[in-house]
Structure 1
Amino acid sequence: MTTPSTESPETAPAAENTGAAAVPGPRATAWRRRRASAARFWREYRRHRAGVLGLAALLLFALVALTAPLTVGSDVASVTDAPGRPLQSPSAQFPLGTDQFGRSLLALVIWGSRVSLLVGLLAAVLSVAIGALIGITAGHFRGWYATVMMRVTDWFLVMPTLVLAIALATVMSRSLGTIVLAIGVTTWPTTARLVRAQTLAVESRPYIERARALGGGHWHVMSRHVLPNVMPLVLAQTTLIISSAILAEATLAFLGLGDPTVVSWGGLLQDAREAGAVSSGDWWYLVPPGIAIAVVALAFTLCGRAVEAVLNPRLGVSR
């Protein structure tokens, strides 16, 4: 004789629901995998001492740029309320000296970090976005479209980037947007070439044919399969291009093609040249912005090489 179950009909579905709730859903599983991947990336990145040093330098410059309104004030560029004498050598009051208007060079360098970092970042993002778009579409569609796009890319590759940027900055209005546009539309060909090669390698894999056989269209293949596989390359390329973009912004500003109302590191070098700091021996006018440009460019390069080594260990980049 069987003993009747003491479990009520209401408790049985509740137990089943509790067991079902304990199983993580697809979204939770995806987020857990992303967190594990990010932790694994950081663990590998920390092994590259040069990359960690570059990242620390970038965080320091970012902190200085973000806190500039609090540390030096927003009226640092004013020439009517300059606190010192023109071209005053470094002293306790002005650790980096003053410019030809009597403004503190330390305050100008700190405030100029905001513009230089912002322009470099925006120009690099624009450049990588254009290069990734052309590279993915040229590698996916192929045919006449890929031929035309690659010939345009080759033309941009053989043309001097600085000359093209100068030409664009000359014919357009002098503003930060012009500088970003001039750098972004002239530095994308290398990214396009790299992304196209990676796209061709990805689309030769069997799961791409399976996705097409199941009805996946062009947008589905490019956005769901190709883009996630080329994103590590795009990320590494972005960190490497930022340093070039900062140097290009400084060059254009030094040539007088930047916005004269905005303080940047390249603009400070241009002001020093116009003030005759080189011939008069006023080294404190030239050295601080030059060192800042060199250190930031080197820091981004170190970070880019470390990211590239983590994402592609076969490169064998020294740690």
Structure 2
Amino acid sequence: MTTDTTTTAPPDPAPSAPRSPRALAWQRRRRSVARFWRQYRTHRTGVVGLAALVLFALVALTAPLTIGSDVQSVTEAPGRPMEGPSGQFWFGTDQYGRDLLRLVLWGSRVSLTVGLLAAVLSVAIGALVGITAGHFRGWYATVIMRVTDWFLVMPTLVLAIALATVMSRSLSTIILAIGVTTWPTTARLVRAQTLAVESRPYIERARALGGGHAHIMSRHVLPNVMPLVLAQTTLGISNAILSEATLAFLGLGDPTITSWGGLLQDAREAGAVSSGHWWYLVPPGLAIAAVALAFTLCGRAVESVLNPKLGVAR
């Protein structure tokens, strides 16, 4: 008697359901982000700048919990006025006896917030002007670019001072003054990139298929200029922080808010330069320089990754 030793082959697995366009889009985005991070890590200066920014961001976010808002109180100052660095006060005290180390850490919240929001506002205005001027061209592009050239040749600091003078002294005024005076450079760069993108064949095909102005600008032009916009944002934050410090140093900031520029203004009013109280000037100045340098390093690294032709040194 023989037995049948043949085995039945397992059934073929059911074909997987096709992924939706949204899932495929998210998969491409994740791959792009992973590829960007792999290339970004090769830039040592960019990694150092990013680490410094993460540290500053953690300090700013945790300041209300670790430092407390009472650091700005003049009546509850823990030390004597203009006391030098010591074991109790590492950075010394200000003219009211407040701990300068805690004031510098608290001021990071305002300076970083102003720098980020002002840079975002500036880049948003510049991107909108640049994309529309590169897309529509004609008389509109001529008029808008002449306005851009006027803003470009005017001293940015003078325009910001004029706006901050005629408006109320507040944090929103500083953000607005910086944002609406620093956009022309971004506008010209984005317009040049828009002209290059719109000369490509797939833009003509999109128009032939009935794509309108809004569709072409949002679906085709904007994704191609976003790397440039991102790089401009990182580079613009450092300039915005320096501009905020300058305006606050000139007495145009909000006196009720502690920022790095405001600390420099207080030191100038207290005569720290003439009296030799260097500890009143050095900490906020070094903080401004460190953050500006960190954003610049990150911006250069991002620009090099997104545009390898620049050949930025690592």
Taking the TM superposition and a 5 Å limit, the aligned residue runs for 1:92-241 are 92-241=87-236
What is the identity, as a one-letter code, of the residue corresponding to 2:162? Answer: A
Deviation at residue 31 of structure 1 after TM alignment: 1.0
Match of 1:55 in 2: 50
Q: Distance in 2 between matches of 1:206 and 1:123?
A: 36
Equivalent position to 1:275, from 267, 270, 273: 270
* RMSD over aligned Cα atoms: 1.2
Query: What is the count of residue pairs matched by the alignment?
Result: 304
Q: Distance in 2 between matches of 1:126 and 1:69?
A: 26
1:106 offset after TM fit, Å?
Answer: 0.4
Counterpart Cα distance in 2 of 1:129 and 1:273: 35
The amino acid that maps onto 1:48 is H
Structure-1 residue corresponding to 2:304: 309
- Write out per-residue CA displacement over residues 249-294 of structure 1, whole angstroms, 9 at most, x where no aligned residue: 0000000000000000000000000000001100100000000000
Counterpart Cα distance in 2 of 1:90 and 1:49? 34
Would you identify which runs of 4 or more consecutive aligned residues in structure 1 move more than 6 Å? none
Q: CA deviation at 1:20?
A: 4.7
Unaligned stretches of 5+ residues in structure 1 = 1-11
Please give the secondary structure, in 2, of the residue aligned with 1:76: helix
Q: Structure 2: any 5+ residue segments left out of the alignment? A: 1-10
Give the Cα–Cα distance (whole angstroms) in 2 for the partners of residues 215 and 75 of structure 1.
61
Q: CA offset at residue 29 of structure 1?
A: 1.3
1:58-81 deviations in Å (ceiling 9; x for gaps) = 000000000101111111101010
Counterpart Cα distance in 2 of 1:286 and 1:259: 19
- SS where residue 70 of structure 2 aligns? coil
Match of 2:258 among 250, 256, 263: 263
Q: Percent identity?
A: 84
TM-score, reference length from structure 2: 0.95
Q: Output the CA distance in 2 between the equivalents of 1:312 and 1:255.
A: 38
Corresponding letter in the other structure for 2:84:
S
- Alpha-carbon deviation of 1:175? 0.3
* AA in 2 matched with 1:206: P
2:242 is the counterpart of 1:242: no
Aligned residue for 2:131, secondary structure, equals: helix
Equivalent residue number for residue 284 of structure 1: 279
Distance 1:54 1:290 in 2: 18
SS, match of residue 15 in structure 2: helix
